[in-house]
Amino acid sequence: MKKRILSALLSLVLIFSIVLASAQSEPDIHKYSYMFFGTFDTAITLIAFAPSQEEFDKNAKLVEDRFNELHKQFNQYLRYEGLNNMYYLNNNAAKEPVRVPEELFQLIKWAKEEQTRTQGMVNIALGAVLALWHDERDTADLSPEQAKLPDMDKLEAANRHTNIDFVILDEQEQTIYYQDPLLKLDVGAVAKGYATELVARMLLDTDMTSFIINAGGNVRTGHLPLDGRKAWGIGIQDPDAALVLPAGDDVMDILFLSDLSLVTSGDYQRYYMVDGKRYHHLISPETLMPADHMRSVTIITEDSGYADLLSTAVFLMPYEQGRAYVEALEGVEALWVLNDRSIEMTEGIKGVSYTMGYRQ
């Protein structure tokens, strides 16, 4: 948990440094920022242009309240009284159909539909497998000397209970039922991005549409900044960097976006060490082990939930497979940091990349 919050704070430092170095805003329009904690196990920041502090504060409260609401719905580790959230669902849906809130139902429905379109790389029914890794990571965080890998026999046994077809959805009743009593859902690969997109769409329906939301590295930009720049600048972190510094030495590139989302998945977030080797949280459904094809992959597309889903899926694919997969998708671009630290990017990324010549 500490690693996740630190990584989120470092990415916020980078975005703040880029935004604060910009030109002054238009007359009667001012730039404001707000950061809060406690949702999705990360720091969340909002930077936006508004005519007054009062107007910004009003919308910032809407953002925080909405993130809090969605965090409770999607939380798979904590129970909230009177709320049939993800935790309640995993503990009761094998007994009888459970009626859940609209947002949680739609998240699970969407992720189930997308599972086949990710070539099976993102399966929210992999929860029984991921829980074994989560438990070992928690143990290692508390007692590093006890760090070990999950038992492979237990991983393989858990993997026999990961069939997404055993998750039965009733849209009319808004209920979910697990046909397999040992099946568990884990929405960690998509929940934060999905929530960020819902919040961004809410903001786009207000008068404060020039904004950037950074939800622990899940970045969603609204309309272009109102200070004369053509786009918001977002840094791509060097996976080997201990810190993200304003000087830029720990940033491999800067991408400039508006009305788009950017999500990065990498091996430097949420990991623990066993015998000097790093084991991160992005688990391949094929090997039941952390994937080691690359250091990170960044996805750019409009919808933050889709970007979150794709960043996990592409990270779990070998580069050549992932490249072909991305290039077959409409409105999706990607940047890879490979194991030798070389960078590959799709043509669309080149047009918004600082290292490829883009300037404000």
Cα–Cα distance for residue pair 310/122, rounded to 1 Å: 8
Cα–Cα distance for residue pair 46/345, rounded to 1 Å: 28
Higher confidence at residue 8 or residue 54?
54
What domains are defined for the chain?
86-178 (1.10.3980.10)
H or E segment at 10?
helix 2-20
Asked if 328 contacts 307 with a C-beta cutoff of 8 angstroms, the reply is no
pTM confidence score = 0.91
Distances from the Cα of 193 to the Cα of 165, 198, 199, 242, angstroms:
24, 9, 10, 25
pLDDT at 1 over 50: no
Reported confidence tier of residue 13, pLDDT bands at 50, 70, 90: very low
Convert the pLDDT of each residue in 110-128 to its tens digit: 999 999 999 999 999 999 9
Reported confidence tier of residue 27, pLDDT bands at 50, 70, 90: low
Cα–Cα distance for residue pair 90/360, rounded to 1 Å: 48
